[in-house]
Structure formats: structure tokens, C-alpha cells
Amino acid sequence: MLSVALSELVQIFRNRLVLVTGLVIPVVVSAFFVHRHEVFAALAGLGYVAATVMFTVGAFGLYTTVVTTLAARRQNLFLKRLRSTAAGDATILAGLLLPITVISLVQVTVILAVLAAVTGRPDNVLLLTAAVLSMVIMMIGLGLATAGLTNSPEHAQVTTLPIALGTIAVSGWVGITGTGELTLLKRLLPGGSATELVVNAWNGGVPVADSLILLAPTLSWVVVSVALATRIFRWEPRR
């Protein structure tokens, strides 16, 4: 797995498209939100700013790169060659996705740490960590499912848009308006409960037990995504 991961890490830094969309754009957008945090915090609080940063990296960095990577490796038959080795399917996928997952986690951690240094420590760091990890797992699951519908890296620019923009839109909707109305709908949509969890973790004022329940909808999307991926994911191009 580590040899596959190292090879994939090299490919990430060689591919300009992945480098820009997966690493540069999320950091630039997040830096803008951190720099103008007073404006956005006045709109909906610092928890909203933290959630926006998290989903910017998760959607445009992690999710789109997962789909693009798997589509590219399928197209050049690298997935097929790996599958002919002794490595199992789970090991192959873990090796391919490990680099961008680690990079995304580092990005989110650093940006949120800067936000905390500028604005003050979040109310519950452990709860915030749980929110970040659940978001990462969800975006990887959604990426695996989307990769099954994606024929090429170019096609990924189209197939990733609905979920990437959708999760960010849901995050903004929940972050600004809260879940006082349409509670169930907002929590069940991908990104909704994770956003509420980040807001609770950063702003405080909500019992931890009540916040931990919010992990369930996010993890449910992981189960749905993985189940879908097992049905539609392909290891070689369509003939």
C-alpha cells in the first residue's frame, strides 16, 4: 500500500490540474474566508466560517481529486495492472487515496489552526476533530461512488460538480440559517449535519451528547456511498 501511495503522491505533484484544483484553490479560498472572518462571522458566527473552510477543502480538494485520480488510473489501465498483483482491492484503493486524504487533513488542520489563532480557540476541539474526520470519510465515500460514473479525468470536471457544489451550498445554508426550521431535511442532506456539528464544536452552547448524534447522518452517507460504489465502480475502461 505504501509503495502505491508514494507513487500516487509523486503523480499529484506532477499533475498541474490536480495540483491547482486539489491543493491551491481550496487553500486560496479558505485563506480569503479566514482573512475576512470578521465579515462572515458577523453574518453567521465563527462556526460558519470554520464549516465553510472545511467543506471548501473537502469538496474541491479531497472529493474532486479522489474522482479525478481514480478515473485517470482506470483510463491508463493502472488500476487493472494493480489488480493483477497480490494486493487486494481495499489495499489498492487505500494506497491511491492515502496521499490526498493526508494532504486534505493537513490543509484543514492548518487552516483551522490559523483561524483559531486569529479568532480564539474553538469551544470543543475533540468535537471539531470528529466533525472533520466524519466529513473526510463522507467525501471519500462519495468520491468512490462518483468515480464509478466517471469515464475520464476530463469527465470528472462534470460529474463532480453536483456533489461538490451541493455540499458547499448545504453547508452555507445550514451555517447561516441554522437548523431551527426544516431540521430533518437539513441534517439528512450531505454536509448538513457535519456543518451543524462544526458550528456546535466551535461556538459551544450545545451538550456534547446532542452534538455526537449528528455524526449518524454523515456516516450514513458513507454507508450509502460505499454500497453504491461496490455496484458501479469499474476497474478498467468500458469497451
Q: In terms of Cα–Cα distance, which of 221, 160, 232 is closest to 187?
A: 221
The pLDDT tens digits of the residues spanning 27-57 come to 777 777 776 666 666 667 788 889 988 999 9
pLDDT at residue 101 greater than cutoff 80: yes
pLDDT (0 to 100) of residue 116:
87
Lowest mean pLDDT among 24-28, 49-53, 152-156: 24-28
The pLDDT tens digits of the residues spanning 120-149 come to 888 899 999 999 999 999 999 999 999 999
Q: Which residue has the cell 463522507?
A: 138
SS3 content of the chain, % helix, strand, coil (to 5): 80, 0, 20
Q: In terms of Cα–Cα distance, which of 149, 171, 182 is closest to 218?
A: 171
Specify the pTM: 0.91
pLDDT at residue 88 greater than cutoff 90: no
Contact at 8 Å (CB) between 175 and 51? yes
Q: What is the mean pLDDT of residues 201-221?
A: 90
Q: What is the mean pLDDT of residues 52-69?
A: 91
pLDDT (0 to 100) of residue 147:
93
pLDDT (0 to 100) of residue 210:
85
pLDDT (0 to 100) of residue 37:
66
Q: In terms of Cα–Cα distance, which of 131, 163, 124 is closest to 53?
A: 131
